[in-house]
A and B are shown apart, each in its own frame.
Chain A
Amino acid sequence: MDALRQALARLRAFFRKAPLDRDMEAEMASHLAFAIEENLQRGLSPQEAGRQALVRFGGVAQSKEKHREARGLPALDVLIQDLRYTFRTLRRDRGFASVAVLILALGIGANIAVFSVVNTILLRPLPFRDPQRLVWMASERGVGGLSAVTYTVAAYEEFQRHNRSFQDVTGYDPFFGDSDFTKLTGRGEPQELSGVRVAENFLPTLGVQPALGRLFTPEECRKGGRLAVLLGHSFWQRQFAADPAIVGQALVLNNRPFTVVGVLRHPSISAPSSPWSEDGYRRPGYHG
């Protein structure tokens, strides 16, 4: 309680230096006047009376300093003094100051750049359920970048059959970027869309839920089954003005009719504006 009261008093004193200093000086002057008066009464000469009063007082400057230390926030005072000195020095030596500022700017900039990359790639979790339990399987066949680390459908099915370590094994068609699979016609201007063909358990494994409609049924995932597509959320908003009635309608993609079975939640899994689609695994054509 007393400590809190004292802290508050110190803080108040920190902002009222000038009046408190005046008060202190008046008080110390009156102290010396009392002392001189007493010395004179003891029969000392005026000169000696003044000298002895000062000796007994013991250093006016030190006493003032001690008074200020007990009264205010000496650490903060020192800090402000140091800052003032720093800025004075920097102003005097502008060349050095600008180089220092430049180096700091470069350092901070480089840090931010590296951090934003690391944050995106390493730190931020994947936007799926239990992202720490997801594993991406890739073979080590070396040359050719990502195109060389795919598996055949047969290998994928082997993985599924012999899987014991994972809750589930799923897959997607990795060659979706340049495929002409998703040319949309019959809805205004024809346009190229990006989509990806996924296995039946792909979206459930990642814990993805549709915002509208449903995910794919087993029937839609069999070879030669009914063609079905799920739309990305922002594509749905842009192209169909977020019309929920789109579910159940047909879209013509590459001259084949697909039924829209649902719309994915926002944010979408990968590239926004990609209609997710599935027409079952086409067994050949899974090689690069």
Chain B
Amino acid sequence: MPEKKLDLLQGTLDLMVLQTLAAMGSLHGYGIARRIEQASGDAVLLNQGTIYASLVRLQQRGWISAEWGTSDNNRKAKFYSITKRGRQQLAKDAAYWQRLSGVMGRVLAMPGEGGGR
């Protein structure tokens, strides 16, 4: 039986979207969703549709901007790119997540009677 996919923690999707846009430049919603899936090695359970709620939220906060355009294969799509304030926010959030995951890693690495590896 394949390993179950990870549920996304609250707030993580927004950060993933920001990071994807920072790394890849301008992308449409489908492109962002596929990038996240690929980057996570398809380990994340992502209903691609949920990405649009995240995109609206980020746009309303002024962290990304959107514009309709035409894709490589001549299809109309809305393209998103990260703003300057979005980059600042990304730096802050990324630092927070790295600290948090570092702490979680150390705490979970504590040797114990049961459950230890």
Contacts and interface: CB of A to CB of B under 8 A. Distances in A.
A97 to B, nearest CB: 39
A58 B47 contact: yes
Contacts of B54: 70
Contact of B75 (A30, A64, A69): A30
B84 interface: no
Interface residues of B, number: 28
Contact of B50 (A24, A38, A63): A63
A33 B31 CA distance: 12
A34 B75 contact: yes
Interface string A30-70: 11011101100000000000000000111110111011011
Interface stretch (B2-10, B57-65, B105-113): B57-65
A112 B107 CA distance: 65
Interface residues of A, number: 31
A120 to B, nearest CB: 53
Contacts of A70: 53-54, 56-57, 60
A66 B50 contact: yes
Contacts of A26: 76, 78
Given A2-B61, A70-B57, A27 B29 contact: yes
Given A57-B49, A58-B50, A30 B78 contact: yes
* Chain B binding surface, main DSSP class: helix
A215 to B, nearest CB: 71
A6 B85 CA distance: 14
B77 A34 contact: yes
A226 interface: no
A250 B47 CA distance: 99
A38 to B, nearest CB: 8
Given A31-B30, A34-B28, A57-B47, A67 B60 contact: no
Given A66-B52, A70-B60, 18 more contacts: A2-B89, A23-B78, A27-B52, A30-B30, A31-B49, A34-B30, A35-B30, A38-B34, A56-B48, A59-B47, A66-B50, A66-B53, A67-B52, A67-B56, A69-B53, A70-B53, A70-B54, A71-B56
9 contacts: A5-B60, A24-B52, A34-B71, A60-B49, A63-B49, A64-B49, A66-B52, A67-B56, A71-B60
Interface of B: 28-31, 33-34, 47-50, 52-54, 56-57, 59-63, 71, 73, 75-78, 85, 89
